């Protein structure tokens, strides 16, 4: 009986920590809402600059907002949008010096993680039951390397489309 109770306690603690990602990030982050338009995010971050490469658009804002208890010195926030222009991801940059501490903080808050595979850039992920993904990685930046925490939201409603509108 003792083993059953221990097993139940372990499983419930695992799921409660995994659900914490959903509880915290299911609506949005930094006063934005998942699925919000670029213009709506720009209203919240008026100094954000619109960037684009090959038709992909995002907003980038440098600020010193403290995140996860870590001070940031004029580091980037990036807001990413799907092909319909709906907010579906956010990237938060930190000094490379914070990588280890951020990893420990995220592991403490959200528990089990998995090592990323299939890419030349190493990363660590926490995935909620609904699919919200936190990714911690190091990224090249001008003449240095920075730590980036990204939050991906995969639960937007699929865009309305038809065979004709797709050209088939």
Q: Is residue 90 part of a domain?
A: yes
What digits encode the pLDDT tens for the residues 46-97?
Answer: 999 999 999 889 999 999 999 999 999 999 999 999 999 999 999 999 999 9
- Asked whether residue 117 carries a pLDDT value surpassing 80, the answer given is no
Where is pLDDT greater, at 79 or 162? 79
Closest CA to 113 of 12, 14, 1: 14
Closest CA to 125 of 149, 146, 101: 149
pLDDT of residue 11: 40
Q: Is residue 79 part of a domain?
A: yes
Count up the domains in the chain and report the number: 1
Q: How far is CA 89 from CA 3, 11, 38, 168, in A?
A: 41, 29, 12, 30
What digits encode the pLDDT tens for the residues 134-149?
Answer: 999 988 877 888 999 9
Q: Is residue 162 part of a domain?
A: no
pLDDT of residue 104: 95
- Asked whether residue 105 carries a pLDDT value surpassing 90, the answer given is yes
Q: Is residue 121 part of a domain?
A: yes
What digits encode the pLDDT tens for the residues 10-46?
Answer: 344 444 455 899 999 999 999 999 999 999 999 999 9
Q: With bands split at pLDDT 50, 70 and 90, how would you rate the model's confidence at 158?
A: confident
Mean pLDDT of all residues in 117-145: 86
Closest CA to 86 of 53, 129, 38, 128: 38
Q: Is the dihedral of CA 78, 106, 35, 131 positive or negative?
A: positive
CATH number, domain with residue 80: 3.40.1000
Q: How far is CA 115 from CA 91, 124, 133, 137, in A?
A: 18, 5, 13, 10
How far apart, in whole angstroms, are the C-alpha atoms of residue 144 and residue 128?
A: 31
Q: Is residue 160 part of a domain?
A: no
Give the structural domain span for 84. 2-152
């Amino acid at each position: 009986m003792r083993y059953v109770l221990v097993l139940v306690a372990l499983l419930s603690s695992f799921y409660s920590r995994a659900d914490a990602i959903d509880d915290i990030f299911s609506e949005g982050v930094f006063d934005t809402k998942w699925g919000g338009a670029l213009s709506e995010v720009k209203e919240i971050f008026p100094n954000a600059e619109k960037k684009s490469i090959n038709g992909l658009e995002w907003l980038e804002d440098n600020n010193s907002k403290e995140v996860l208890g870590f001070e940031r010195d004029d580091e980037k926030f990036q807001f990413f949008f799907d092909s319909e222009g709906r907010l579906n991801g956010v990237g938060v940059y930190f000094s490379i010096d914070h990588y280890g501490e951020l990893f420990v903080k995220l592991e403490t808050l959200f528990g089990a993680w998995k090592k990323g595979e299939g890419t030349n850039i190493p990363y660590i992920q926490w995935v909620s039951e609904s699919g919200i993904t936190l990714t911690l990685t190091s990224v090249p930046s001008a003449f240095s390397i920075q730590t980036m925490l990204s939050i991906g939201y995969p639960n937007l409603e699929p865009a309305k489309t038809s065979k004709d509108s797709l050209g088939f």
